[in-house]
Amino acid sequence: MARRRGQDIDGWLVLDKPLELGSTTAVAIARRLYDARKVGHAGTLDPLATGVLPIAFGKATKTIPWIMDATKEYRFTLVFGESRTTDDREGEVLALSEVRPSDTAILGVLPMLTGDVMQVPPVYSALKVGGQRAYDLARAGKPPELPPRPARIDSITLVERPDRDHAVFDVRSGKGVYMRSLARDIALACGTVGHIGVLRRTKCGPFTEMEAISLDNLRQSMENADALPVPLRPVATVLDDIPALAVTEEEAKALLYGQSLDLSVLAGRLPAMEAGVPLRAICGERVIGLCRTEDGRLRPSRMF
């Protein structure tokens, strides 16, 4: 018997990933519930993290890079006094400290950790070292020394101090920033040690926790024959900040077939921008794909 391939459906699901569930497992569950042929996700969340996990179906998978590069927002609780192997509560205790920083001390170190910084990733991360995952090496008793990597941290806000052992932060950051590393570095800058106790992603690109659906509610809706299926967000949702270019049906057909267009035929419609910058090609109310200008022509780069 031939293997069932699933349905061709397109769009974004904004899932509120629950605690202790891996991102890959969450995607597999969503694929089964929607009986979807092609699925992917944008931005892995650790099993001990919760919150916004955008899941792409069908043509939306082509727009995943735009979500990966998008600004993200988090809220985490830093636990002072214990450093751990994983930089979160799952790991073994590495070091202890009796130092508990004041609010003033914490606020004093945040500026040095904000902006374009260099950040050392957690040893327990999916980064590859010599072809092996860092976390596999660490679990085998050979934790690698990971070099610092560029990171963009737009803002760090001290939200509250529930007690002297804990501090809650809101963070706005760019691609590839590790909150576990940031929590570790805040504690170290304050002259103590620490790890993340609670981590939640509240925003990922245009998707927020206010619109995210829990896995339990998704299951109930999709498995209930009398309920309406949870609708997906349009593929183009993640492209709203890319300049738009209106094209005709004939031009759209040419672009979809991989043909380029002479810029002279688009005079008066092209937004003012540098060559090579992505353009969102729109035919009527439909986004047909992304294009770029190059050598006097409009060239298709990723068509839907």
Query: Based on the domain organization, do 37 and 97 belong to the same domain?
Result: no
* Domain harbouring 261, CATH code: 2.30.130.10
Look at residues 266, 275, 279 and name the one whose alpha carbon lies nearest to residue 294: 275
Angle at 212 between CA 237 and CA 195, to 5 degrees: 110
Mean pLDDT value of segment 250-259: 92
Cα separation, 289 vs 304, whole angstroms: 5
Query: Based on the domain organization, do 134 and 186 belong to the same domain?
Result: yes
Which pLDDT score, from 0 to 100, does residue 228 have?
62
Mean pLDDT value of segment 95-114: 98
**pLDDT over 70 percentage in the chain:** 97
Which pLDDT score, from 0 to 100, does residue 225 have?
63
Number of Cβ within a 10 Å radius of residue 132: 13
| Dihedral of alpha carbons 62, 68, 73, 74, sign | positive
**3 within a domain of the structure (yes/no):** no
Which pLDDT score, from 0 to 100, does residue 226 have?
64
Q: Is the pLDDT of residue 1 over 60?
A: no
**162 within a domain of the structure (yes/no):** yes
Query: Based on the domain organization, do 173 and 226 belong to the same domain?
Result: no
Which pLDDT score, from 0 to 100, does residue 133 have?
87
Could you give the number of structural domains in the chain? 3
46 is catalytic: yes
Mean pLDDT value of segment 82-108: 96
**104 within a domain of the structure (yes/no):** yes
Q: Is the pLDDT of residue 176 over 60?
A: yes
Which residues lie below 8 Å from residue 24, measured CB to CB, with a gap of 6+? Answer: 41
**92 within a domain of the structure (yes/no):** yes
Which pLDDT score, from 0 to 100, does residue 80 have?
98
Q: Which residue has the higher pLDDT, 273 or 84?
A: 84
Q: Is 103 helix (H, G, I), strand (E, B) or coil?
A: helix
Look at residues 239, 215, 202, 290 and name the one whose alpha carbon lies nearest to residue 13: 215
Give the H or E element holding residue 53. Answer: strand 49-57
> Which one-letter amino acid corresponds to residue 268?
G
Q: Is the pLDDT of residue 192 over 60?
A: yes
- Summarize pLDDT for 262-284 with one digit per residue, the tens: 888 888 888 877 777 788 898 88
> Which one-letter amino acid corresponds to residue 138?
A
**pLDDT over 90 percentage in the chain:** 61
**5 within a domain of the structure (yes/no):** no
Which residues lie below 8 Å from residue 70, measured CB to CB, with a gap of 6+? Answer: 175, 204, 205, 206, 238
Q: Which of 19-23, 87-91, 95-99 has the highest mean pLDDT?
A: 95-99
**Active-site position among 16, 46, 88, 185:** 46
Cα separation, 175 vs 72, whole angstroms: 8
Give me the domain span that covers residue 102: 72-202
Mean pLDDT of the chain: 90
Which pLDDT score, from 0 to 100, does residue 2 have?
47
Among the residue ranges 86-100, 117-131, 199-213, 263-277, the one predicted with the least confidence is: 263-277
Which pLDDT score, from 0 to 100, does residue 272 have?
75
Mean pLDDT value of segment 56-69: 91
Q: Is the pTM of this model over 0.75?
A: yes
* Domain harbouring 63, CATH code: 3.30.2350.10
Query: Based on the domain organization, do 185 and 82 belong to the same domain?
Result: yes
Query: Based on the domain organization, do 214 and 124 belong to the same domain?
Result: no
Six-digit token string for 26: 């969450």
Mean pLDDT value of segment 194-206: 97
